[in-house]
Amino acid sequence: MTSRVGLVGLGYFGKILLDTLREIPGVDVVAVHDRFPDRANDITLLNAHFHNRLEDMFEQETMDAVVIAEIPGYHLQPTQLAAAKGMHVYCEKPMANTPSDCDKMIEVCARNRVKLMIGFKHRFAKAMAYAKRQLPRLGRPYWAMYTYPLWKVDDPGWKFDEKGTRGIVVENMVHAFDIMRYFFGDVRSLYAEGDHFVYPNTTLPDSAILVARFENGAIAGIGGGCTSEQRVTREYLDMHFEKGIVQVSGKLDQPYNLRILMRDEPLPEDHSFEGSDGVREEIKHFFECIREDKEPLCTGSDGKKALEIALAAIESIQKHTIVSLASR
């Protein structure tokens, strides 16, 4: 059966999601919304109707699901409108600006019995997914180091709004926080240092390094920000376990290479998953969850927890203190 989908937000990532949705068999994008009418000119509508008012889209269209790619402060409203009409929700990371918005999104989706999936594409990149399946044979996690730096974005705009998204730690490093939770579980406490090296007019850090202690005793260092250069930037995740070592690497957001060395084996196994950045895989997964009535791999709770790590990192930077997440 075909899923009729509405897309909310036609910015940089909304357009990528539109192309991705149109590649998936059984998915029909019937409506698109952007609050800036000009954005309709950036896309080919095909059989989709464009709506400038969000409410019009929900009043006039028959849809099974929505995909939300607006700025994080505007993720709650379309989630509420969709859930109230029994539509499933896929929402881009970061899930929202505040944990309180996350709670409202989780509550309204649960009450209306619709799926809520948060777009943490890294979990679906084949290298990460393969590494995750090896956890049972790797034994106890010891420590990890994750380098995840973005380049300097031209106009920081909404990404550095003290009342909004609260900078690159929330907007971008949240991917790395989610991945570390995916492998090591919940964070117990963290300490972070950060600074604004390239955006002197913001109080929010454009660079941050944090050390996290996980509930299971593992530790991780995570570094990111937006001081790199698009020409050379890369991500690199090095994880040490009792029985083996896992290395995932590639250009930023292209973690295609995987090396696993089991300590009792002479040679590592190497994999290259060229082209798998997780975006196509995560969108397919969302529709599979709808069809098969399964819980998505990235839930609202995962979205909220990753946001809480980001906000705790900012708090730690601003107060120069260790922040506990144990009670959150």
Ligand X SMILES: NC(=O)c1ccc[n+]([C@@H]2O[C@H](COP(=O)([O-])OP(=O)(O)OC[C@H]3O[C@@H](n4cnc5c(N)ncnc54)[C@H](O)[C@@H]3O)[C@@H](O)[C@H]2O)c1
Judged by CB under 6 A, does residue 88 bind ligand X?
no
The residue number whose beta carbon is nearest to ligand X equals 11
Using the rule CB under 6 A, which residue among 4, 22, 35, 188 binds ligand X?
35
* 9 is a contact residue toward ligand X (CB under 6 A): yes
119 contacts ligand X (rule: CB under 6 A): yes
Which residue blocks in 172-270 are alpha helix, DSSP H?
174-184
Task: Tell me the residue type at 13.
Answer: F
Q: Does 10 bind ligand X (CB under 6 A)?
A: yes
Check binding of 171 to ligand X (CB under 6 A): yes
Q: Is 78 in the site for ligand X (CB under 6 A)?
A: no
135 neighbors 185 (Cβ within 8 angstroms): no
Q: Is 143 in the site for ligand X (CB under 6 A)?
A: no
- Which one among 27, 79, 80, 93 touches ligand X, defined by CB under 6 A? 93
- 71 touches ligand X by CB under 6 A: yes
- Report the candidate in 70, 87, 65, 4 with the shortest Cα–Cα distance to residue 35: 70
Distances (CA, A) of 303 to 99, 170, 279: 9, 11, 16
Q: Is the peptide bond before 94 cis (omega within 30 degrees of 0)?
A: yes
Q: From the CB of 164, what's the least distance to ligand X, in Å?
A: 8
Sheet holding 49-51, edge to edge: 49-51, 27-33, 3-8, 65-68, 88-92, 116-119
* Residue 13 in contact with ligand X, rule: CB under 6 A: yes
Task: Give the containing element (helix H, strand E) for 259.
Answer: strand 254-262
User: Could you say whether residue 178 binds ligand X (CB under 6 A)?
Assistant: no
**4: number of CA atoms within 13 Å, CB side?**
14
* One of 6, 31, 72, 149 touching ligand X (CB under 6 A): 72
Q: In what order do the strands lie in the sheet with 141-151?
A: 269-272, 254-262, 244-251, 234-241, 141-151, 219-228, 207-214, 187-195, 323-324
Residue 57 interacting with ligand X (CB under 6 A): no
- In terms of CB distance, is 260 or 276 closer to ligand X? 276
Choose the binding region for ligand X from 28-36, 41-49, 186-194, 315-323 (rule: CB under 6 A).
28-36
Task: Note the residues at the interface with ligand X (CB under 6 A).
Answer: 9-14, 34-36, 39, 69-72, 74, 92-94, 119, 121, 158, 171
